[in-house]
Structure 1
């Protein structure tokens, strides 16, 4: 007899994990015909209101966090009296299982894992979610689309920021003791994200050393506010060095304010530590062959290269072992692999190697040299094919050629990553001007141009900087810039710079003034609509203060070329006036000088505001407020107006379209 589907659609197939809180099943979603992970509350806890609330809390916590490194929830409901949770089904293993097999990991192998966990925690903390149970068993190394991706699991103990104050006498001891921060061990509910950072520090310590940073008998000392002696990681693994000891002294400081401020800062500090500690190393070559004397032969043939630290060899007896070696040695450059091996042959290994190490190059070395094997190997990504018995001079030449290719490929990849990073900071329109600037004699260029400068400033953002956590404040600010900047650039504006909580944009070319105003009006409209949908706590509720001015600008590269620091920008009264106008504008006001306002009167609705005194000595300035664009379109006689089609009123409403182990128990 077929068991009744849970929630009317999920058919249980087999259990894949379990614990005191519940059981996780591999299940079939009948409606979508896909396999999922189905989590059911333990039967003996179904009658507990606290357990049911905690189960629902997990669904809410994960639903808040939108990040590819957090396990995704598909559905939540109650079947009869049984709460259930439906999650994505993951294939792979958790870091606890990985540690059981490997004891500890190399720092270079830990860096990408830590960076992914940090991204998940950054998103969670920004959403007001404190995990409270970070540990290797809740960090899952999933295989997704040929890549290994970390997923943070089990938000069953998570704290959610509900916007209400936690009563000072409310305590709850929840978590895994060896990973709990001192304040969490005291049962505090008013935890900050730095509590999770402590747990992450313990996880990182275990990954690097295979041990815990504090002995078990020190937990009571930490809980009561005492000082426990951290075991320096370099005393466990000497090659980690004193710098790593200093890193963990901060990561695991008993006082939260002495720890890293964010998961991103912790991960960046560790990455910098690993990179700075890397010596010039020999090329690392993995030899995969089941012949018992292969290691001896390679060491003899390349004795001089090994002595001179040109080559370093590691060995594996089959493809399965080789994949594990690549995980242990992510800095491997080249693989020499046989074809005919037990457990996993060379062709199967070729198909899997990209999952673990996409940059490594594989040279097949085999006595099976028929064209079918060669074609199959090359089609699966082999870089070259050598035939046994080996001509070692040929092997030496092939290795040199392959290593040169790997080095060039990595250099190009670094350049691509650097270029992609720079594109985030430099507008594409600047690049062409900068190129001409640096090619000119002494790199000094300057020109007078006509243009419009717009300053878009966040209203009353300074209190947010003082009151919110750094990650949350930056995320709130950037959420607004994500709306504002596309409106500026889509109308030909060039983002010149971000100045605190303001953005400065420059518009040049035909219709620059009209395009600049259209961009500012549209950005204001978008922010208003998003604030209306999100309510008072929306990051868009601040509003913006906008100032524009138009006229002659001095454009050029400024800075200290000898020190390698130049900036391409615009200067002049127009810039200063636009900045001042933004500073005196009220919430959602767009201010211009009277001279600019009168030029726009045929196309934009403007209100005269009277005279305002410019900061410092100077002539009082009559101001206009730009309310919106008029319905009738553009006056052809106004050469500064936008050449675009008439746009709807800015006051019009904005309509917006709106394999097999998933989770483990605490």
Structure 2
């Protein structure tokens, strides 16, 4: 590759990703003095008009979509014969890599990810763009200003006009087989948003279960036009329950018209699995009706409930006013809406409620009681349907039933929020043990346990604390912990405490030593990857010093109960040894005692470093450095399996696998 700037301004620094379609480089924009991700078309595809068209089409697709959850494009051009796309440079990892480490996610973890992807898809579909290759590898969890933001990548196979085939002159199949909708597998070119929603449903299914909803044989049947039902996710993860089964049964219908009508509706339906509540207050009810006396009638009929602060009514004359009121009153519980109204009718309003308030319950109240209206309202998400002239006893009963449903769901959400807040400061495993301890007769029970303790210390972080602005130093430190902690907890580790620029974690239960080492190796690798992408100024460039020890520990609550200050922790030589090993480790070293090597079942690569004297005692301890996990020897089954298409490999007809932006 020439060292001259691409397009006269972009200096290539290093290759950070690539595939059959092209390569992605970390580059410096000389004019603006910022780092960017620069994508180059693969040299062997330069002579292909189809490949060049797809490359240009990707730039156009991304440029059409203005949304923070879509990777942003800065520039597009052709340098000599070489097309290039300039995009924002992201730090983080894709969901495929995260899923491989964690195996599966809880619904509460998936919900915020889904809502971010939903916003991206809503913007794309509104701009006439169908992605066609949604999968975990193309959903990137970027770390921006200390927060995690989902970015949709790789629009290299996108169609640029909803419902048309204008973006795909080649009639061959394109996409990733395990995520393709039936209509996409059948080669239909006039795809609509529902095709992307199918792919998103497969992504959700994998995140929640770690598996695919259909077997390879079932995919062949779907391609042939069969109508099949996905494996119920509760058969894989029972705690997901029948509600999740019903959600995926609809999301993965073979007939596109029977799936969710939009990404927002899909996200709202998923959120209903996690709904909850807020503190007791008057139930807020929005009445949407253009009849001039409706407000007076409702206030008269429900005057006792209003006087007792049970109900609080607000009123709108049409759907447009109602949407604005929902924006002003996000605490609204129930909406009573007419169908026939000026400006925006009830069915249109019902279809847009999810944009503003995805969790509110809507009861349709209309004189149009024919079955087609009822069916259409229910299909668009109405909770119930009442017929005018109103029977107010029926209305009262329906409101009570709906509000009871909302209240129960909100209580669940409040409990979830409180637990999440508590677990932000105290790991869930610690919470359960503390509860057991305080319920014990003495309230401060102790026990001896077999466990592994890991200390992960930031290398040379003291100068940052001394020299940097306090806010910048804390953000830099927390950026590393945001990477380290998920690796520890996903393998059953409990974060015992943060000590300055170090974190101490405890692993208990079967295989605790191996899980602890796996977590430390993975955390180290993630930090190395991020440092490579970000360069010397990256917050991840410090590296880590890691010490582990394993054995018997004393576990229990310590502190001054009378003053309301207790901590749940572990004590003993194992803790002291792990901390000491971390203190003598070099950058990115993982140190253990030699005696632990015999407990690793030859699963890890270790290097003897000789003996060191422990401080104070003067005892000599022989230590080993853990350099990695040994590679498993491929079996015949592995060899056979590798012949089948990879779960992440797109059909290589129009183009090879689209690249992932970094």
Q: CA deviation at 1:447?
A: 1.5
> Scaled by the length of structure 2, what TM-score is found?
0.51
Number of the residue aligned with 2:284 = 284
Cα drift, residue 409 of structure 1:
1.9
**2:328 matches 1:302:** no
Cα distance in 2 for residues equivalent to 1:537 and 1:37: 29
Q: Distance in 2 between matches of 1:429 and 1:343?
A: 54
Instruction: Give runs of aligned pairs for residues 48-67 of structure 1, distance below 5 A.
Output: none
Equivalent residues of 2:609, 2:625 under 8 A apart: yes
Residue 647 of structure 1: aligned partner: none
1:69 CA displacement: 4.0
Aligned to 1:309, what secondary structure does the other structure show? coil
Higher RCO (Cα < 8 Å, 6 or more apart): 2
1:99-498 matches, cutoff 5 A? 282-427=282-427, 429-430=429-430, 433-434=433-434, 436-489=436-489, 492-498=492-498
How big is each residue's C-alpha offset from its partner over 1:347-403, in whole Å with a ceiling of 9 and x where there is no partner?
A: 221111121112222222222223332232223222222222222233233323322
Output the CA distance in 1 between the equivalents of 2:280 and 2:430. Answer: 37
Contact 1:351-1:380 within 8 A present in 2 as well: yes
Deviations 1:403-455 (A, max 9, x none): 23222222222222333444555545445544544554454432212233221
Could you tell me how far apart the structure 2 residues matched to 1:86 and 1:38 are? 14
Partner SS, residue 31 of structure 1: helix
Residue 610 of structure 2 is aligned to residue 608 of structure 1 = yes
What is the aligned partner in structure 2 of residue 508 from structure 1?
Answer: 508
DSSP-derived class of the 1:394 partner? helix
Q: CA RMSD in A?
A: 4.5
Tell me how far apart the structure 2 counterparts of residues 452 and 29 of structure 1 sit (CA, whole Å): 50
Partner of 2:75: 76
Contact 1:553 1:571 in 2 (8 A): yes
What is the deviation of 1:315?
A: 1.5
TM-score by length of 1: 0.51
TM-superposed CA distance for 1:464, in Å, is 1.7
- Matches of 2:74 and 2:281, distance apart in 1: 50
In structure 1, the residue matched to 2:618 is 620
Matched, 1:31 2:57: yes
Instruction: Tell me: CA distance 1:538–1:328, structure 2 relative to 1, closer, same or farther (3 Å).
Output: closer
In 1, are the aligned partners of 2:521 and 2:628 still within 8 Å (CA)? no
Measured in 2, the distance between the counterparts of 1:32 and 1:525 equals: 31
> Structure 2 CA distance, aligned partners of 1:289 and 1:478?
51
- For 2:486 and 2:505, how far apart are their aligned partners in 1? 11
Distance (whole Å) between structure 1 residues aligned to residue 285 and residue 631 of structure 2 = 69
Displacement after TM superposition at 1:502 (Å): 0.8
CA shift in 2, pair 1:532/1:72, >3 Å:
closer
Q: Whole-Å Cα distance in 2 between the matches of residues 485 and 623 of structure 1?
A: 29
* CA-to-aligned-CA distance 1:184-226 (integer Å, 9 cap, x gap): xxxxxxxxxxxxxxxxxxxxxxxxxxxxxxxxxxxxxxxxxxx
Q: C-alpha distance in 1, partners of 2:299/2:519?
A: 67
Change beyond 3 A, Cα 1:293–1:29: farther
- 2:518 and 2:538 mapped to 1: Cα distance? 24
| Match of residue 215 from structure 1 | none
Of 437-446 and 496-505, the range deviating more from structure 2: 437-446
Inter-partner Cα distance in structure 2 for 1:491 and 1:287? 50
Contact map agreement 2:545 2:590 (CA 8 A) in 1? yes
Q: Distance in 2 between matches of 1:633 and 1:370?
A: 66
1:601, 1:91 → 2: CA distance? 52
Q: Which has the larger radius of gyration?
A: 1
The CA distance in 1 between the partners of 2:599 and 2:123, in whole Å, is 64
Cα pair 1:363 1:384 within 8 Å, conserved: yes
Deviates further, 419-428 or 30-39: 30-39
What stretches of structure 1 of length at least 5 have no aligned partner?
Answer: 1-27, 40-61, 63-67, 93-118, 125-143, 146-277, 635-656, 659-666
The 1:621–1:516 alpha-carbon spacing in structure 2 relative to 1, beyond 3 Å, is farther
In the alignment, the residues of structure 2 paired with residue 519 and residue 377 of structure 1 have an alpha-carbon distance, to the nearest angstrom, of: 50
Relative distance call for 1:286 and 1:515 in structure 2 (3 A) is closer
Q: 2:450·2:552 contact (CA, 8 Å) conserved in 1?
A: yes
Give yes or no for contact 2:594–2:624 (8 Å, CA) kept in 1.
no
